[in-house]
Structure formats: C-alpha cells, structure tokens
C-alpha cells in the first residue's frame, strides 16, 4: 500500500526487529518535552533512555524530574515525532510532501496496529 502512495520513492521497505528499539527523526531532532507539564525534558531524557535501554526498552515508564509525574518515554512530546517499537515501514526520499490522515488510517487498518509517522533525515 505504501508503494502505491509514494511511487517515486527511492526505496520502500519494512523490517521486524527482535527487540524494541527507538525510532528517531535523525537530523530532524529538535528536542523533547514532558507530556504532563510541557517542560523541556532534554536535561533528563538521556539518562532515562539509558535506564530504559538497560532492560531492552521493556519498561518505558520513568519519573519526570520536572513535575514528579510518571511518564512513558513513548508518550513524551517529541518536537519531531519519535517512537519505540519493533516494526518499521519506510519510504526513502518519498517524493511527496506528506501522506493524508486518511491514507495513514488506511495503512494502520491494513496492518492492524496503530502507526506513528516519523520524518527522519540522515
């Protein structure tokens, strides 16, 4: 389905990982904020990522020092979207501005799982 949406893409591929990994926007990285209070989370995010990585990202919950709330690293407000998962569907140099909400919904339905779109740049 993705290939039909981006026929001019250099490459369309998918992958299943054995373990959970962090999918980030690469050079598009612009920071991260607490999902509860909105404070800049960059100061404590790296340490929280290291702790979560130590257990294979099986537990993404951490206590946000900014407000004391328990938050999921997956639910933080990444300025450019990011996510944790074991599956990726990628279009390299898609040649389009963006997919529509309807197209995104149909892809998620087709796969039977929610998707998070991440615009990455290497």
The pLDDT value recorded for residue 69 is 98
Tokens representing residue 56 in the block? 């294979």
CA distances from 105 to 15, 29, 34, 73, 115 (A): 20, 25, 27, 24, 8
pLDDT tens-place string over residues 17-66: 999 999 999 999 999 999 999 999 999 999 999 999 999 999 999 999 99
CB atoms within 10 A of CB 35: 18
Residues 105, 118: Cα–Cα separation, whole Å: 15
The pLDDT value recorded for residue 96 is 87
> Is residue 106 classed exposed, middle or buried when 0-12, 13-18 and 19+ CB atoms within 10 A define those classes?
middle
């Amino acid at each position: 389905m993705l290939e039909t949406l981006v026929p001019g893409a250099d490459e369309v591929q998918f992958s299943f990982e054995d373990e959970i990994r962090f999918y980030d926007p690469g050079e598009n990285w612009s920071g991260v904020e607490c999902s509860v209070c909105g404070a800049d989370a960059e100061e404590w995010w790296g340490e929280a990522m290291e702790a979560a990585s130590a257990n294979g990202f099986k537990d993404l919950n951490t206590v946000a020092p900014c407000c004391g709330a328990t938050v999921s690293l997956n639910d933080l407000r990444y300025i450019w979207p990011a996510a944790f998962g074991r599956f990726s569907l990628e279009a390299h140099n898609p040649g389009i501005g963006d997919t529509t909400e309807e197209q995104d919904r149909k892809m998620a339905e087709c796969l039977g799982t929610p998707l998070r779109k991440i615009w990455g740049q290497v």
